[in-house]
Amino acid sequence: MSSPTINNPPRLHNQVHLLLEYIENEGLNPGDRLASERELAKKLGISRPSLREAIQVLQVQGRLVVKHGIGVFLLDDVAGEKLRDSLKAAQHNIEELFQMREILEAPAVEWAAERRTESQLIAMKEAAEALNSAVSEPSVDFDKVRRLDMQFHLTIVKSAQNRFLNQTLGTLQEVMYQSMDNTLKLPGRIQSSELEHGLILDAIEQQDPLTARLMIIQHIHNARDAWFKYLRKQDQ
């Protein structure tokens, strides 16, 4: 099987940065509504689909809420900002970040298996299908894959019904954003990750918290091992 071709579209994080700059420059406060999609896309100089993707990222991170038929509103993310700044300032090594992810995400997945509703299960399956579809494209857009990977994991965490975990893991995923990109580009890793996601989702669907916990821990360990494999290749 040939390796997927890597696209180089405008990076999603630049679009997110533009949107965050707009929020700051406009002096918006929690509860304030953003401009309409058409007006906001024009102000930022990006397409409306690109704007929707940026809004989706900030929605997953708990910074924005979309009220259909009404608009997009700013949420209070003071705690998330403090944690994000702390993680970046401390310059944690990647091993520590993987350890932190395991400590937080293992119980979150376990609780998701115990507490998930049928509608939440459908949302998880839809997130997995969107990710698998992006992975299967002849020319893989890795920026899109990273966003969908993060969304899949955070959709599961949301089903654990713990707002602190949801916000904290969203921030951690953001800090680890670059490492995820690098590891997914390793030959075979993107296919292995897809299989691991399926096993996690199966355990949640069967409401088997122990298996779900074991599967997410294995998934995180495999991602960590892929990262160190990437580092070894860089040193050669």
Residues 113-151: tens digit of each pLDDT = 999 999 999 999 999 999 999 988 888 888 888 888 888
Q: What are the structure tokens assigned to 172, written together? A: 């951690």
Distance (Å, whole) CA 10 – CA 15 = 8
Global pTM exceeds 0.85: no
Instruction: Give the model's pLDDT for residue 178.
Output: 54
Residues in the chain: 236
Instruction: Give the model's pLDDT for residue 8.
Output: 36
Q: What are the structure tokens assigned to 10, written together? A: 């405008």
Phi, psi of 119 (to 5 degrees): -65, -35
Domains of the chain: 7-74 (1.10.10.10), 78-235 (1.20.120.530)
Distance (Å, whole) CA 25 – CA 34 = 12
Return the higher-pLDDT residue of 15 and 103. Answer: 103
Most confident of the following: 87-91, 99-103, 109-113 = 109-113
Give the pLDDT confidence of 44-86 residue by residue, as tens digits: 888 888 888 888 878 766 678 888 888 888 876 554 555 555 5
- In Å, what is the CA distance from 106 to each residue of 102, 140, 162, 168? 6, 29, 13, 13
**CB-CB contact of 150 with 62 (8 Å):** no
Give the pLDDT confidence of 166-221 residue by residue, as tens digits: 777 777 777 666 555 567 777 788 889 999 999 999 999 999 999 999 999 999 99
Beta strands in 5-96 (DSSP E): 5-6, 64-67, 71-74
